[in-house]
A and B are shown apart, each in its own frame.
Chain A
């Protein structure tokens, strides 16, 4: 009997020694450098992935449907341009500090003070903490996309930042460039903006996290295509970035990788300079829009027979957004219509010499430039192709006379709302940026954009954007080449419902990479 405890202890020790250690699951993915950890400066895709996992927001886009669900907030009320949110009272930051309305106010003010990233979404907005669980925003004037904008207002731990701020750095920029200060489902373990950010699951997160979610995430930056392919083949990588060349993604798919997709927030736009002859005439522009070979354009971005980095365009607004045309009304090439428009164009084809530009950093655009050159040549229109580095392009578009006749742009709605996609492209008050090389100045377009902003109901917004879409089709300031779809090659060790099941998609760039909703599986 006296030996029993000893025996039990020995057995226990032996069991402990021989039992396999708890297997920690690690998710490895990559993005282009550099990963910006400070949420007030976040704007790129990598920054968004970090932001959505280290920080939380008051609302989240509804999965698989339009609209937004409460997240850190439990509910909200709208009164004209005033929004009052009731907040959860059971949330703590990763530091252990409680989350209160004061943190929401601080997060907004910090973002506005730094004036970087997507802070322009909150220009003129003020916030007030009514009590610990109530915060009121005053917008000054009605702005229907405000709820959507809130997915870009990550809430930071004001007490932690203030504790790490200095007289020269009152907003704690130095601290937040290397550390997290959020309440998100993942905490930052280490961060090197050129190498990788390592994150670990936050076991104190206020929502349940599935056991199959990755315990650790390693977000690497700036991997080359050959490197990613080798890493995936060796089982040392899980999700490749969308920026791989299509042929590499295709090769990975042939090697057995699954293809994940994210769509509904942007498109590939071919911009026509409406301030320069001959494209200052609508018939001339419509001739080009009709002559463009939309089907070939889609083939050029095809990855496999079933997956492409784009889907057929139906108009100015990507399918899935307010005001989009039905998915089946795809744009097609119509050479007869093109010739008819050309007949009404005041400049005879022989006198055209179009400058078709492409951004040097985006080699795919050169192929589209060649496609356009061939398409337009069938109408007897001559053109020259010009390569522009991004930096030079942004300078050239500052004046209409220096802006090429044709520019190519990938654009997306940073909040998932059409306002953030369309207003900066087509409103007459914002010409001369990379988004608006059309120099469009049309009162009807302006009115529709403003009506879309005002709302207030979703039905009214849908009507306004439908009218806008129709008007933009009539004016043809742009060739709406295809709706963009991001494609990611991934190993079969990971399951990502938000990037593989349309019913669970967020309809917002980067949010599909919410790690707590992923599942690591045995291959």
Chain B
């Protein structure tokens, strides 16, 4: 069996255990949070009878093990229950809200890698010189403030004082696009409406930049640190002694080995953005899953909490597997290892 297949098989096995563990943990934690979910859902004016009816419908009047049993049974049928927050099936809510967050996070991830890595390479290549100093100061600035602060700052500058970007939502009111995938940049292309595509992209820029800024800084600093360490290796000195061009040394000999430790962190950062996006979504009125997740936690909407957490956990797992495969691709010692060890 090829080492890559072995890595995948092992990862899938562990992922399944992780998912079951997460579901049990969140199931228990969600029930420890103070407050009666039925009471919260029905509002302050609901009668005791109304609350009791919802509790019975949700099996909240039974033991926690029985409740978990119902949950597992329903999940295996593809049913995550009904959200008490939106009064709709949780699967429907996830289908509606997840693409919005994924679209945001994917663009933010592209920005993180597309800007962060080159900045890190540039800083390492010119280490100790002014481009390095400038990049280190700038990246320190981006990592020192959380994304919601950047969201407000970017909105103030580029929407309030310089009205260059839209403030809220995913698409201007003038466009009516049929939702096929839920990714508006894709749906607008499918509809052949290029004006709407540009508009959707225009709406995406500020929130995704706000979300990506801290990741860009982190990716740049991490890449720089790893590359600077690699530059001290004897084989780099040898390449320099052979008179290779600095750009070739950076690209072929310093960057690739430095990328491996950075990749794991960047992968985790990327997956974490899914959960961290909620404040950016709140500031830009972005109807995504992160905002939904926070809203359902505050309302102790048990079914929706479980659904959201499982989706985020699943995303972490998928991203980790992708990162492992990338590392295996980049690192021949793993790719060709008979033990199939992954990071």
Residues on A facing B (Cβ under 8 Å)? 26, 33-34, 36, 38, 41, 43-44, 115-120, 123, 173-174, 177-178, 192-196, 218, 220, 222-224, 226-227, 229-231, 233-234, 236, 361, 389-392, 394-395, 414, 424, 433-435
Contact = CB atoms under 8 A, between A and B. Distances in A.
Contact of A230 (B159, B282, B298, B300): B159
A369 to B, nearest CB: 20
B291 A194 contact: yes
B201 interface: no
Contact of B86 (A34, A227, A389): A34
B292 A389 contact: no
Given A120-B46, A194-B295, A394-B36, 6 more contacts: A115-B49, A115-B53, A174-B88, A178-B88, A218-B173, A226-B283
A224 B44 contact: no
B191 to A, nearest CB: 16
Interface string B154-168: 011001100100011
Given A227-B283, A395-B34, A193 B86 contact: yes
Contacts of B35: 389-392, 394-395
A43 B47 CA distance: 13
B36 A391 contact: yes
Contacts of B283: 224, 226-227
Contact of B50 (A119, A231, A392): A119
A223 B168 contact: yes
A116 B42 contact: yes
A128 B45 CA distance: 27
Given A193-B88, A414-B45, A394 B39 contact: yes
21 contacts: A26-B173, A43-B42, A43-B45, A116-B46, A120-B47, A174-B88, A178-B88, A193-B87, A194-B86, A226-B152, A226-B155, A230-B156, A230-B159, A234-B167, A236-B167, A389-B35, A390-B40, A391-B34, A394-B36, A395-B36, A434-B44
A189 B35 CA distance: 36
B86 A224 contact: no
B316 interface: no
Interface residues of B, number: 41
A227 B284 contact: yes
Interface string B287-319: 100011001001010000000000000000000
A194 B36 contact: no
A226 B88 CA distance: 30
B285 interface: yes
For the residues of A in contact with B, the DSSP-based class is loop
A457 B39 CA distance: 36
Interface string B123-145: 00000000000000000000000
Nearest to B82: A173
Contacts of A123: 47
Contacts of B42: 43, 116
B27 interface: no
A243 to B, nearest CB: 13
B278 to A, nearest CB: 11
Nearest to A198: B173
Contacts of A38: 87
B96 interface: yes
A233 B50 contact: no
A230 B50 contact: no
A220 B295 contact: no
Contacts of B167: 227, 230-231, 234, 236
B231 interface: no
Given A194-B295, A224-B283, A231 B43 contact: no
9 smallest beta-carbon distances between A and B, as pairs:
A391-B35, A195-B287, A392-B34, A43-B43, A120-B47, A193-B86, A230-B160, A230-B167, A115-B50
B33 interface: yes
B295 A33 contact: yes
Nearest to B151: A226
Interface in B35-79: 35-36, 39-40, 42-47, 49-50, 53
A120 B50 CA distance: 8
Contact of A220 (B88, B97, B168): B168
Contact of B282 (A26, A177, A224, A414): A224
Contacts of B96: 192
A177 B44 CA distance: 21
A115 B292 CA distance: 25
B282 A222 contact: yes
Contacts of B285: 195, 220, 222-224, 227
